[in-house]
Amino acid sequence: MRAGPPIWLLDLDNTLHDAGREIFPWINIAMTEYVSRRLALPADEASALRVHYWRRYGATLLGLIRHHQIDPHEFLRETHPFDDLHRLVCRDHGLRDALRRLPGRKLVVTNGPRDYAAAVLRRLGLTPVLDGLVSVEDMRFAGRWLPKPSRRMLRLIIARLRVSPARCVLVEDSPENIASARALGLRTVLVAGHGHLGTHPSRRPRAGPGRRAGLQLQSVVALPRAVSRLR
Ligand SMILES: [Mg+2]
């Protein structure tokens, strides 16, 4: 089932670069402003609602679609930075070399919008070494948005690639997404070096050997040397 080189499914934020210091605070402020403006709420209530939907649905976007019928494209456009990315994203030249050395196809799979993800990848200098990008706009099925950690969507992404799950490796900072991938038979790498945004206890995967990543690294830069340890 593993015939052929691996297919690498790489998360973007906090996996290929550190989004926690500059970008996530920027996005949180922009989301609070969006909710405040669209729903006519004071800033503190808008912020609380943003956090509530993130905890309940795993993404603020899903709560806003379900309960307020917002325009998802407008929301994604207005809550992700573009013009400031040269200031917000730090380039790591070792990363491009590391990805180039990795055998097999490399796709970025992100819950972020396409324009934002493409701009971050350009800023990181990674576009030439990648084979594709699956953004949140691609994670829709039968009229529903199904971002990670949706198992149904992960299964669909792999089906579209026409490969077996055993050939795919999900590289991620999120334990929930690792748990979904393991349940589908993918191999997994947890990237722990950039920290994790934190998960509400109700959404956190239970501890146990089946929930752990096959490999844990501080940075994707270490991946080529660790491939032989991948289970
Ligand atoms: Mg991430």
Assess whether 124 and 34 both reside in one domain: no
pLDDT over 50 at 200, yes or no: no
CATH number at residue 70: 1.10.150
Cα separation, 221 vs 219, whole angstroms: 5
pLDDT at 58: 87
d(CA 174, ligand 1 centre) in Å: 6
pLDDT over 80 at 154, yes or no: yes
Residue range 162-194, pLDDT digits in tens: 999 999 999 999 999 999 999 999 999 999 988
Flag whether 84 is in a domain. no
Domain interval for residue 142 = 7-18+90-229
d(CA 112, ligand 1 centre) in Å: 9
d(CA 204, ligand 1 centre) in Å: 15
pLDDT at 209: 45
Cα separation, 26 vs 176, whole angstroms: 23
d(CA 181, ligand 1 centre) in Å: 14
d(CA 173, ligand 1 centre) in Å: 5
Flag whether 35 is in a domain. yes
Assess whether 124 and 194 both reside in one domain: yes
Flag whether 2 is in a domain. no
Using omega within 30 degrees of 0 as the cis cutoff, is the peptide bond preceding 149 cis? Answer: yes
H/E run at residue 85: helix 85-88
Cα separation, 220 vs 139, whole angstroms: 24
Mean pLDDT, the chain, as a whole number?
A: 91
Assess whether 29 and 120 both reside in one domain: no
Residue range 2-15, pLDDT digits in tens: 778 999 999 999 99
d(CA 110, ligand 1 centre) in Å: 7
Structurally, how many domains does the chain consist of?
2
d(CA 197, ligand 1 centre) in Å: 8
CATH number at residue 111: 3.40.50.1000
Assess whether 61 and 100 both reside in one domain: no
Cα separation, 90 vs 103, whole angstroms: 25
pLDDT band at 214 (very low <50, low <70, confident <90, very high): confident
Flag whether 116 is in a domain. yes
Assess whether 152 and 207 both reside in one domain: yes
Assess whether 99 and 41 both reside in one domain: no
Assess whether 136 and 158 both reside in one domain: yes
d(CA 117, ligand 1 centre) in Å: 12
Assess whether 221 and 198 both reside in one domain: yes
d(CA 40, ligand 1 centre) in Å: 30
